[in-house]
Structure 1
């Protein structure tokens, strides 16, 4: 099987050389044990914003991959050894048997965060991390993941149970309600995405979800529109401050929508 991108035009032009090299290095480390490399997040949902968005990647490997390969993979892919042109790389590696069954657990073999605007993280222990991030990402991957190498996302990543996805959304809203480590505009836009998932059962790009919420919820329209304008700015450092009380009130409303859906 080729080590090049399956469909280079399925990813933004700014990311193609980077993702090409990421696939090449991942294949070099994992060899025949590599099953799939899949773009998730904003790339999968068609809303990548260069300078603002992360690059989210899910890697699936077979159970015969030697454990010692995982630290080597993290070293090979971490910025600046592999310079990341996006705000950051969020890469998660799963064993194919785990990925193929619905689960509400984190379940990863490797979680790597690296990049110019992203705090570094290398974890080989899923107990170190809150499970909700990974449940949501696997749900997005199953619905919309763009294969960069190997088998299609729907063939290798199971859709988590709806109850597990809603529990993950509730945990996500709770995390964003604290505000710690999250930009205000992203807290609002992620809340909009959660609401739209509850309404439709499908994942939408943050900006599309925000436009839908702004159109239907007059009370929150000024806040959501302000978050959209902030998100359009060229970098994370240029993000605008939003009224703290308004953001918290909005996220409390989002939490209520998730709880209603879960009943």
Structure 2
């Protein structure tokens, strides 16, 4: 798949000092076992919204990194020890051997969530963790990540194979259809992003995906436009959207994901 040149994107100014400090601390803790520090998510896709977006960071380390090093890294990067200016930091650490193989597993060494609007989490055991977020994030990272330090993403993060990726998209849509723990606008716009991926094979920023689907799917245009309006607001001010309409839209998304998976030969 085509990757956008990194020179077209840059770190948002609101995050520059923070990410520089994050890289500095990560290098200090991991030392020569550090391979790469990569910015993914909305930063990589050029759609970071200050006050709304999380900061997604992927760290790749050598396989022999000691568990205590990972625990120290979680402590050093936790908010407010390292004050996060965004809604939150979602940082995932992989060992280089795992990251360089296509996989449908979660596979992380550390899954750190921290920040002013995120529940604190520092998980070192990927066993039993739903894998779909990590599979989708690795695909986005492989194709689009900004290199903050070390080797570029396409050299260290493997693209998941189509079967694993479509399984992850299906699971993501099911999660958003249930809706528990997710803002309604984010559920709708993630659904739009899944549709655009199925139609184009490319990862698109959520707002751009929403505008594209609103222009082509008139049945759900009012819902998507309401989600886009809500997404411009700070996270605590996000609007409530009609629950039945959100579920109906996501059911439509799932049907189209299934058809795209069948067309590519990716088994359910």
Q: Report the TM-score range of the alignment, normalised by the length of the smaller protein.
A: over 0.9
- Aligned-residue RMSD, C-alpha: 1.1
Query: 1:208-262 deviations in whole A, cap 9, x for unaligned?
Result: 11111001000010000000000011x1011011000000000000000111111
Query: 1:133-190 deviations in whole A, cap 9, x for unaligned?
Result: 1000000001101110000000000100011111001000101111111000000000
Q: 1:95: how far off?
A: 0.2
Give the number of equivalent residue pairs.
256
Alignment of 1:22-101 (within 5 A): 22-101=22-101
Matched, 1:257 2:267: no
Q: 1:64: how far off?
A: 2.2
Q: Distance in 2 between matches of 1:169 and 1:101?
A: 19
Alignment of 1:200-211 (within 5 A): 200-211=200-211
| Alignment partner, residue 224 of structure 2 | 224
Matched, 1:241 2:201: no
The SS at the match of 1:59 is: strand
| Alignment partner, residue 146 of structure 1 | 146
Q: 1:127: how far off?
A: 1.3
The SS at the match of 1:139 is: helix
The SS at the match of 2:127 is: helix
Q: 1:128: how far off?
A: 4.2
| Alignment partner, residue 177 of structure 1 | 177
Alignment of 1:84-163 (within 5 A): 84-163=84-163
The SS at the match of 2:67 is: coil
The SS at the match of 2:182 is: coil
